[in-house]
Structure 1
Amino acid sequence: MNTKVLWSMIVGLIVLNFLTIAYFISNQGEKIKEVVSISNADVSSGENVAKIGDTQITRQEWLNELEVRYGKETLENMIDKQVIKQMAEKYNITISDDILEREVKMIKTMYNTLDNEEINDEQSFREQIESSLLLEELLTKDVVISEEELEKYYNDNKELYDIPKTYQLSHIVVPTKEEAEKVNKELKSGSSFTALAMEMSQDEFSANQGGVLGYMSEDIEYLPAEYFETAETLSENEWSDPIKVEGGYAIILLHETIDGVKYSYDEVKNQIRRQIAIEQMRGSISVQPFWDEVEVSWFYDEQQ
């Protein structure tokens, strides 16, 4: 494999890991805020939130456990977001809508294992990507890469900037046409595609995920060509009629379509600069170097 391509994949995985961790912690923070709100509002239940036989769990015990499990990570993530925001304002760094849209497309199409839970909240997903891009810009703002090196990187790795038409799909696979028609009927009556996939799909790998296949393009050889032909005829969030496939019948659900695009050198020039600069960095991508600059102090300092 081309060394530059390998490094680009590594950098991409680092960024995706940053996004996934941030997204997970963000979700945990939302859950904590939700349960705290519920516990504060539900005064009729007294101080106990659960009873197991003669044993009771108090609201305070419950909240203490949430803080121990998620408190530090959630607070650190909240601080990181504010540090990135303040540092970006200080250095007048912004991410344009075009750049953000391109990054969203590239992440979705390059890492087709992103599942629905990770990207269902599109706004939160985009905010995490924007935050990651701002951090990259901050970390590499003083790095200068020659035009010759930038152009060579682009010419050596044009395939990285050629996005094929991509479909985000789920499916349910059953042995017979009769079962497929039964699934279709239940969907029309309002049943959940996810629940039906978990209950009825014979594709064990995707059934456990509610039928989710992820973001797929026609160069994915293990999916039937009929999936892409059918997806082309569907609107987003529409499911298909039964499709004859090897071993049975399938119903596919189209979540999203991403049109193919080839990005020019000028469009991705600064992205390449960041990629090369990050390749040359030692250590992981982190907000920590900027904490002192914005004078962060937090609760956990007092415990050290």
Structure 2
Amino acid sequence: MPKQKLRAIIAGLALLNLLTIIIFVIKPLIFSKSVIGEETAAKVGSKDISREAWINELEKRYGEDVLEEMVDKEVVKQAAEKYKVKISDKEIDRELKMMKTMYGAAGQTLNKSTDQLRQEVQSSLLLEKLLTKDVSVSGAVMEKYYEENKDVYRIPTTYHISHITTSTKKQAERIRHELEKGVSFEVLAMEKSLDEFTANQGGDMGYISQANEQVPKEYIEAAEKLQANKWSEAIKTEDGWAVLYLHEKIKGKQYKYEEVKDKIHRQIALEQIQAPVSGKIFWDEFDVEWFYGSKEQK
């Protein structure tokens, strides 16, 4: 998957996450607007910043972008229904695996909303299929492309792990004891891990493989032996001790031409038509109308 496409998916997720926050905040307005208007979101000295002012600022800054994202998703959905374009679960699964294994730590961000991510990937693939459905690419050209880019369609065995780091084995063993008592790994990582960066993420290190030189080799060795949703024994590293948690293991694979020929067709076709991968191309066809502020159809 091109990096530009990954950035677009992450941006889409960020916008939709923001929308969720806005809806969560605004929801009480439906039931009691007068009460919410009087609520205080923050205070600076004697000056109150009301919750309503906060909501209005969120809408002003991000409202149009979030709305446009929602419009594009709905347009793609309707276009797919009209032209009978579908994406299988198998295609979504493959795309997700390629994203996770290719972009490693990016999975740390993407993994937080798996269902939402699947919807984003599905919408993205539907859009690509819609844009390229009438573009012809010969089998010979696609096979040549595959042979020249085989590495793109090979994924390494990859592990999604979290860790809690400590300075002594005794501390690591104490962590394991608390895990056995049912304490959340994420909570323990936030409270006790010495790695401040991942501690803020509940210990999440994202997706790592043997090719990742930024993690101790002991982590890979431990992850290979773990089952999903299990934690490790105390692990000795150069910097101290650690306890790992394995969320998911993705087995390495070289995808065959027949498995990815549709993806190759889309990639070549998009290069040929040189059109932006955007739902805006369908706005006129599906009568998009804007009622938000002064926004006009682009």
Q: Name the residue aligned to 1:229.
A: 221
For 1:126-183, what per-residue CA distance to the aligned partner results, in whole angstroms no more than 9, with x for missing partners?
Answer: 0100000011111222222222221111111212212222110111222221121122
Distance 1:224 1:77 in 2: 40
AA aligned opposite 2:6: L
Q: Name the residue aligned to 2:8.
A: 18
- Residue in structure 1 matching 2:287, options 292, 295, 302: 295
Structure 1 residue 302: Cα displacement: 4.2
Q: TM-score, normalised by structure 2?
A: 0.88
Structure 1 residue 208: Cα displacement: 4.3
Q: Give SS of 2:54's match.
A: helix
Calculate the aligned-residue CA RMSD, in Å. Answer: 2.4
Distance 1:181 1:37 in 2: 45
Q: TM-score, normalised by structure 1?
A: 0.87
Q: Name the residue aligned to 1:113.
A: 105
Distance 2:198 2:52 in 1: 40
Q: Give SS of 2:39's match.
A: strand
| Structure 1 pair 75–303 and aligned structure 2 pair: CA distance change class (3 A) | closer
Distance 1:234 1:297 in 2: 53
> Is contact 1:49-1:58 (8 Å) kept?
yes
- Structure 1 portions without partners, runs of 5+: 1-10
Q: Name the residue aligned to 2:278.
A: 286
Structure 1 residue 198: Cα displacement: 4.0
Q: Name the residue aligned to 1:213.
A: 205
For 1:171-209, what per-residue CA distance to the aligned partner results, in whole angstroms no more than 9, with x for missing partners?
Answer: 122222112112223333444433433444344553443
Query: What is the aligned residue count?
Result: 294
Q: Give SS of 2:202's match.
A: coil
Q: Give SS of 2:129's match.
A: helix
Map 1:1-304 onto structure 2 (within 5 A).
12-41=2-31, 45=35, 47-50=37-40, 52=43, 54-282=46-274, 284-300=276-292, 302-303=294-295
> Is contact 1:88-1:134 (8 Å) kept?
yes
Q: Give SS of 2:186's match.
A: helix
Once the two structures are overlaid, the 10-residue window that deviates more, 157-166 or 200-209, is: 200-209
Structure 1 residue 24: Cα displacement: 0.9
- Structure 2 portions without partners, runs of 5+: none
Q: Give SS of 1:173's match.
A: strand
Distance 1:245 1:217 in 2: 17
Distance 1:226 1:63 in 2: 47
Distance 1:68 1:167 in 2: 41
| Structure 1 pair 123–208 and aligned structure 2 pair: CA distance change class (3 A) | closer
AA aligned opposite 1:263: Y
